[in-house]
Amino acid sequence: MRALKLTVAYDGTNYVGWQRQLNGVSVQQALEEAFAPLNHGVAPTIAGASRTDAGAHALGQVASVNTDIDIPVTAVWRALNVRLPVDIRVLAVEDVRPGFHARFDAKGKSYRYRMSMAPILSPFDRCYVWHAPEPKRLDWMQEAATALVGRHDFVSFQARGAFVRETVRTLDRLDVTRDGDEVIIDCAGDGFLRHMVRIVAGTLAEVGTGLRPPTSMPDVLEARDRRVAGATAPALGLTLMSVRY
């Protein structure tokens, strides 16, 4: 068997997320179906590094697949892009060591969250930016973000219904910057809980509008209670930027 590593970009607007589900088409399903004609007509299982949510996007998702096909990687790359819908693109295909797994071998990931304070959101941003027009104090958001950097139990920032035993994660970076009317949150770490980035973004937005003080983040972490953190920001503002190995 041969292991292939795929680097994938997609607009998640029309998908139920990365992972296969019964209620609609997923990015994983689209990739597996595009791969089937290359794989003796059988759709292989393609594992993704991140199980992005419905409506979330990716510029640097990584996926892995095991196959016995004897086709050059450049031919695989071309064939997949011919068969995929226009909102999914395979950026690269590489041969990797046998046993490589996109999710379990990942050492870290980086995400970007975008929110707009513009009075009216451009129609060209409507699928990629959370429209949150209330004015926000960037310095308050930056102060709050600093308290989340490092190794912490992030269970307060995990969606209800998630079944993960270990909720301690390391955030290497959590930067809050502004570009015109847009607030951009860039984060990188060794792993993320379900909806964690979206809950962090929603909580920081509440800090920025004065709904909670910037000094409250240590208390939110200490509470270990989802009800103490802020609202979950919409998925459409989230993009998986890269995966580190």
Q: Which residues are catalytic?
A: 53
Phi, psi (rounded to 5 degrees) for 210: 90, 10
Q: Quick one: CA dihedral 7, 191, 16, 112, positive or negative?
A: negative
Nearest to 110 by CA among 207, 239, 199: 239
Burial class (CB in 10 A: 0-12, 13-18, 19+), 69: middle
Nearest to 154 by CA among 193, 185, 189: 193
Cα–chain center distance at 197: 8
Round to whole Å and give the CA distance between 115 and 204. Answer: 11
